Amino acid sequence: MDLFANLALGFGVALTPMNVLLAVAGVIMGTLIGALPGVGPASGVALLLPLTFGMSPTSGIILLSALYAGSMYGGTITSVLINTPGESASVVTCIDGYQMALQGRAGPALGVAAFGSFVAGTAGVVLLMTMSPLLAKWALSFGPPETFALMLLGLTTVTGLTGDDALKGYISMVLGLMLAMVGFDIVSGDARYAFGINEMADGVDFLPVAIGLFGFGEVLAGAEGAAKMEILHAKYGLRDVMLTATDWARSRWPIVRGTFLGFFIGVLPGAGPTIASFLSYTLEKKVSRHPEEFGHGAIEGVAGPESANNAASAGAMVPMLTLGIPGSATTAVMLGGLMMWGLRPGPLLFEKNPDFVWGLIASLYLANVLLLILNIGFIPPFERALRLPYTILMALIIVFCVTGAYAQSNKLWDVGQMLVFGVLGYLMRKLGYSPAALVLALVLGPLAERALRQSLIISDSGLMIFFTRPISAVLVIAALAAVAVPLVRALTDALRRRAVVPA
């Protein structure tokens, strides 16, 4: 009964005229941002975060969450039409979506992505609604040792799952932790690593870093490959995106499997929609009766991954709201926003701010309905928007980056930080390092340090406090395993290569 009462409270918050308007604006902007090659949901949320400072936290999170949901579908448009993923979670969609477009079936490809996104997104919100309170109650038993162990697990899991090179992921994480230590010591109050610069005494601001890495850095990376992209000309009316009976028969189970797989992958800290979409594609190819069709226009190769990445975006909200650990790079940016609004994500959030949490959950239902209408009815305008030269798009993105960085505190110092981290983000992409790992470490670093210092203060046995408490012991062992697995895999591969080399 409490569940329905809470949901009624949430809809009472979400269906106010202002919040409905913000949800509509969020899904429209999110779809457009997701459709822009190289500008993903993390970039969009980081760029628009400054706009929420004058709003209530509930209205701000509704706007950002609607934008997040919209951007997860927006990348499908460029994946299908120009074989260029708008964001990383849509990379897999290029494989079969573009092949369907070459066969004159771009409409069904976009249609199955829209319907799959709606089903998976709605189911993901239901699972979010039912699982989050249970997880929040369990998390109430967490003390500083359990909190630090959980942060450690989040950091190690994130860096182990970003990029092809785990070592570069850990290096990115360490850089983020070093940046998180700049400023005043949380216990003694002494300034550290400020080098006599007054602006650095307050620490490295999260927002300019996020905008620089994900916004300006993407522009610099995109400028290198701003070649002419060919748009496939075809019909994209309502009738052209509707699925045939055969399409429905082949798509229904991939949508179901992608929904559940994506949600539970999204709950894992650091996994996120990209991992979910890749795993879904692999699963569908293995269970298909016609695996030879994958890579040549199999509709299952679009339905499964698109459902998985949208369900994963809902799943990533679970650890962010209940444990204060972001499940993806985008939720890491949103986590920073919550802290700027004075909210502390964690188990007490459901008790102290029920209108905020349930208003967010109800707004996700609304966003999914709006997205279905938008994605089916507005495909032609989005297709035309992609014809805008990328040089113009780059200029617009740079304006948003500079404005967003300056709007936080009206200081040119923040703009300078954004530019520096934009160059750093570009170099990290070129060299194969992970900007997402850096941002997540910057967000989790202060929380992990505080929990570690508190644990050591109350401990009589030093670091053994993390192993004498059951929950923290399990989490620390899991974190150590997350570090050991890539090392063992690399060692095994090295031994295997040595074995095949002729003497």
**Where residue 180 falls among pLDDT bands split at 50, 70, 90?**
confident
Give residue 128's pLDDT.
80
Token code pair at residue 140 = 């109430």
Residue with the bigger pLDDT between 399 and 84: it is 399
Residue 500 one-letter amino acid: V
Token code pair at residue 368 = 């999914």
Residue with the bigger pLDDT between 171 and 434: it is 171
What string of DSSP letters covers 415-437?
HHHHHHHHHHHHHHHHHT--HHH
Distance CA 58, CA 62 (A): 6
What's the average model confidence in pLDDT over 281-305?
81
Judged against a pLDDT cut of 50, whether residue 347 lies above it is answered with yes
Poorest-pLDDT segment among 23-32, 57-66, 70-79, 423-432: 70-79
Which residues is 183 bridged to in the sheet?
Answer: 192
Token code pair at residue 398 = 């740079």
What's the average model confidence in pLDDT over 174-198?
82
pLDDT tens, 417-473?
889 998 998 898 888 887 877 877 887 788 788 888 888 888 876 788 888 888 888
Question: What's the chain's average pLDDT?
Answer: 77
Judged against a pLDDT cut of 80, whether residue 78 lies above it is answered with no
Judged against a pLDDT cut of 50, whether residue 474 lies above it is answered with yes
Give residue 71's pLDDT.
81
pTM beyond 0.85, yes or no: no
Q: For residue 246, with 0-12 CB atoms within 10 Å meaning exposed, 13-18 middle and 19 or more buried, which class applies?
A: exposed
**Where residue 162 falls among pLDDT bands split at 50, 70, 90?**
low
Give residue 40's pLDDT.
67
Give residue 487's pLDDT.
77
What's the average model confidence in pLDDT over 248-260?
86
What's the average model confidence in pLDDT over 381-405?
68
Judged against a pLDDT cut of 60, whether residue 500 lies above it is answered with yes
Judged against a pLDDT cut of 70, whether residue 28 lies above it is answered with yes
- 3-state helix/strand/coil string of 108-140: HHHHHHHHHHHHHHHHHHHHHHHHHHHHHHHHC
Give residue 160's pLDDT.
47
pLDDT tens, 194-205?
777 777 777 787
pLDDT tens, 120-129?
888 888 888 7
Residue with the bigger pLDDT between 6 and 225: it is 6
Judged against a pLDDT cut of 60, whether residue 153 lies above it is answered with yes
Give residue 68's pLDDT.
83
pLDDT tens, 255-275?
989 888 888 777 766 556 777
Residue written as tokens 């494989």? Answer: 95
Judged against a pLDDT cut of 70, whether residue 228 lies above it is answered with no
Judged against a pLDDT cut of 70, whether residue 140 lies above it is answered with no
Judged against a pLDDT cut of 80, whether residue 139 lies above it is answered with no
Give residue 161's pLDDT.
43
Token code pair at residue 38 = 């190289």
Give residue 1's pLDDT.
44
DSSP state, residue 464: G
Residue 191 has φ and ψ, to the nearest 5°, of -75, 140
**Where residue 136 falls among pLDDT bands split at 50, 70, 90?**
low
End-to-end CA distance of the chain: give it in Å, rounded: 72
Angle (deg, nearest 10), helices 41-48 and 390-407: 50
Judged against a pLDDT cut of 70, whether residue 229 lies above it is answered with no
What's the average model confidence in pLDDT over 187-211?
77
CA neighbor of 407 nearest in space, from 492, 340, 479: 340
Range of 9-18, 166-175, 275-284, 415-424 with top mean pLDDT: 415-424
Beta strand pairing status for 183-184 and 191-192? antiparallel
CA neighbor of 463 nearest in space, from 101, 152, 251: 152
Distances in Å between the Cα of 71 and the Cα atoms of 50, 113, 146, 225, 375 are 18, 13, 34, 22, 11
Under a CB-based contact definition with an 8 Å cutoff, are residues 94 and 83 in contact?
yes
Residue 338 half-sphere exposure toward CB, CA atoms < 13 A: 26
Poorest-pLDDT segment among 21-30, 313-322, 421-430: 313-322
Residue with the bigger pLDDT between 64 and 268: it is 64
Judged against a pLDDT cut of 80, whether residue 131 lies above it is answered with no
